[in-house]
Chains A and B, each alone.
Chain A
Amino acid sequence: MTGRKSANSSSGRQRDGRSIVIATVSTVVVFGLLGWIIVSAPNWPQVSAQFFDPELFGASLEDLIPAFWKNVQIALIAEVLILVAALGLAIARGAPGPALLPVRFLATAYVDLFRAVPGIVVIFAFGLGIPALDLPGVPNDPTFWAVVTLTLLYSAYVCEVYRSGLESIHPSQEAAARSLGLSHLQTLRYVLVPQGVRRVIPPLLNDFIGLTKDTVLVSFIGVVEIFRTAQIKSYATFNFTPYVALAVVFIIVTIPMARFVDRLAARDRARSQTGVR
């Protein structure tokens, strides 16, 4: 488009005008048709009343927004722990030499295990199982176990993101660092981690968005957060509008994050294409 515009010929401008008209017409037709199909459905009045009740929508938001604070707290605390734990795991998975095989083995087993087991099962096991052991000094607060579980689960995924970042650094850099006399850990600290992590910031943020949404899993061990609040309201009224309100809250929160990830990724692409680092 920009290329065509810079040509600045009158036929180019005409083409632009025509494509705007075509785009507008096709958008109106497609969405108009979809809307008409939905609204003309025989059961639309009941679906509309049970999913899009404006009064209940407002009342739901009033309850959901304070409840969402719980999700935000859990996501932020877990994210910090995940970033640290996952980096440790990624380094452990790449531990060099035959002597460190047990470290590699344990880290790999951990990642395999927590990527394999559905999150809901892990939540039940830690959130309801461990407190039932009645061990002295072990907290039984479900919010605590929610943070622990999400950290365990997401560390496994984020470990793999870090690892792909570390492995994307050309081996010659490690060789160069080692030949300068840096130890393996120093090489990680000064050469590999700073570059590798920078490359994976977009996928890391992507996982953070996933984590934000997965905080609703903690409702299963009793925490009354945004999903449970919506569910309570839905069951009390036999109406699905509270879930629609919940979706809107998550959309408002995650879309800016998603756009931010896009911008970072675009910047990264531009850099690697021009060769500037």
Chain B
Amino acid sequence: MGLAPRRSDPSGEGFESAVAYEIAKRLGFEAADVAWVPVPFVQSFAPGDKPFDMYLTQVSYDDERAKAVDLSDGYFDQNQTVIANADTPIAVVTSVAGLADFKLAAPVATTSYQYIVDNIKPTQSPLVFDDLAAAFQALNGKQVDGVIVDLPTAFYAVAVELDNGTIVGVLPTVGEIEHFSVVLSKDSALTSCVNAALAAMKADGTLKTITDTWITGAGAKELT
């Protein structure tokens, strides 16, 4: 079975690596059967044979996306989160409306940009970067005031990537709650098996245990 994570991580350390091994186990594979292949994001949805069976890189479910690939049931419900440098004016903002006057950015390939445009409706046009590294560099260069990412990424960024980073707050859900899905080839025979495995993991609490082990949700204030 081939897996494609964003950072090739065969260790089982980290949330998605742990989820992937657990799904594989429930499909009857030993840990040693799991092979990891690095895949650029764009290849995850390109038509044709895919070099992986499952792809887990915090891909949010979307009806349009589901026309091109199979997207499993969710394995994590997520909210958009604002991160910024501590000691800047945006760091003390408490409401979504309060964000509109700041220069915001998001990494491309995320639902965060759409959230900015649709819900924050900023007065200055937001910037979009290829990856987090570029977005954080812009944050350091004061080219942007805040970066919108998903919550797990926000915790990772503040803990590891940013010297002076802080979580401004978690943005409220608009419409349906967003969830991360496993990406599989369109009409893959594995999709129903993965969904069954996820359902079982939810039912017996394994998914919650994995989530609590790797993702600490505590300490982020909610924006109103």
Residues in chain A within 8 A of chain B (CB atoms): 43, 46-47, 49-51, 124, 128, 131-134, 140-142, 219-224, 228, 231-232, 235-240
17 additional A-B residue pairs with CB within 8 Å, beyond A131-B143, A237-B62: A43-B47, A43-B48, A49-B68, A50-B45, A51-B47, A222-B128, A222-B138, A224-B125, A228-B108, A232-B108, A232-B114, A235-B41, A236-B64, A236-B114, A238-B67, A238-B69, A239-B68
List, in ascending order, chain A residues with CB within 8 A of B142's CB.
131, 134, 140
Most buried by B among A49, A221, A231: A221
Interface string of B60-102 (1 = CB under 8 A from A): 0010110111000000000000000000000000000000000
User: Which of B48, B65, B69, B113 contacts A232, CB < 8 Å?
Assistant: B113
B137 touching A236, Cβ below 8 Å: no
Min distance, Cβ B163 to any Cβ of chain A, angstroms: 12
Min distance, Cβ B188 to any Cβ of chain A, angstroms: 13
List, in ascending order, chain A residues with CB within 8 A of B51's CB.
none
A222 touching B144, Cβ below 8 Å: yes
List, in ascending order, chain A residues with CB within 8 A of B67's CB.
49, 237-239
B65 touching A237, Cβ below 8 Å: yes
B128 touching A128, Cβ below 8 Å: no
Most buried by B among A47, A220, A235, A238: A238
A46 touching B186, Cβ below 8 Å: yes
A50 touching B141, Cβ below 8 Å: no
| B126 lies within 8 A of chain A by Cβ | yes
A228 vs B141: C-alpha distance when bound (angstroms): 21
Complex A-B, nearest 3 residue pairs according to Cβ-Cβ distance, in ascending order: A222-B127, A131-B141, A132-B141
| B134 lies within 8 A of chain A by Cβ | yes
| B204 lies within 8 A of chain A by Cβ | no
> Nearest CB to that of B64 among chain A residues?
A237
A134 vs B139: C-alpha distance when bound (angstroms): 12
A131 vs B105: C-alpha distance when bound (angstroms): 16
> Nearest CB to that of A132 among chain B residues?
B141
| B140 lies within 8 A of chain A by Cβ | yes
B186 touching A224, Cβ below 8 Å: no
Also in contact, A220 and B130, with CB within 8 A (given A49-B67, A131-B141, A131-B143): yes
Question: Could you write out 24 A-B pairs with CB less than 8 Å apart?
Answer: A46-B48, A49-B68, A50-B47, A128-B134, A131-B141, A132-B140, A142-B127, A142-B138, A142-B143, A219-B128, A222-B127, A222-B128, A222-B129, A228-B108, A228-B128, A232-B108, A235-B109, A235-B110, A236-B64, A236-B65, A238-B62, A238-B68, A239-B45, A239-B68
Interface of B is mostly: loop
A237 touching B47, Cβ below 8 Å: no
List, in ascending order, chain B residues with CB within 8 A of A224's CB.
125-128
B134 touching A220, Cβ below 8 Å: yes
Also in contact, A46 and B47, with CB within 8 A (given A220-B130, A238-B69): yes
A50 vs B69: C-alpha distance when bound (angstroms): 10
List, in ascending order, chain A residues with CB within 8 A of B125's CB.
224
A240 vs B45: C-alpha distance when bound (angstroms): 9
Min distance, Cβ B85 to any Cβ of chain A, angstroms: 12
A43 vs B46: C-alpha distance when bound (angstroms): 12
List, in ascending order, chain A residues with CB within 8 A of B137's CB.
128, 132
Min distance, Cβ B200 to any Cβ of chain A, angstroms: 27
A223 touching B127, Cβ below 8 Å: yes
A222 touching B105, Cβ below 8 Å: yes
A140 vs B138: C-alpha distance when bound (angstroms): 9
List, in ascending order, chain B residues with CB within 8 A of A50's CB.
45-47, 68
> Nearest CB to that of B144 among chain A residues?
A222
B65 touching A238, Cβ below 8 Å: yes
B129 touching A239, Cβ below 8 Å: no
A222 vs B128: C-alpha distance when bound (angstroms): 5
A222 touching B134, Cβ below 8 Å: yes
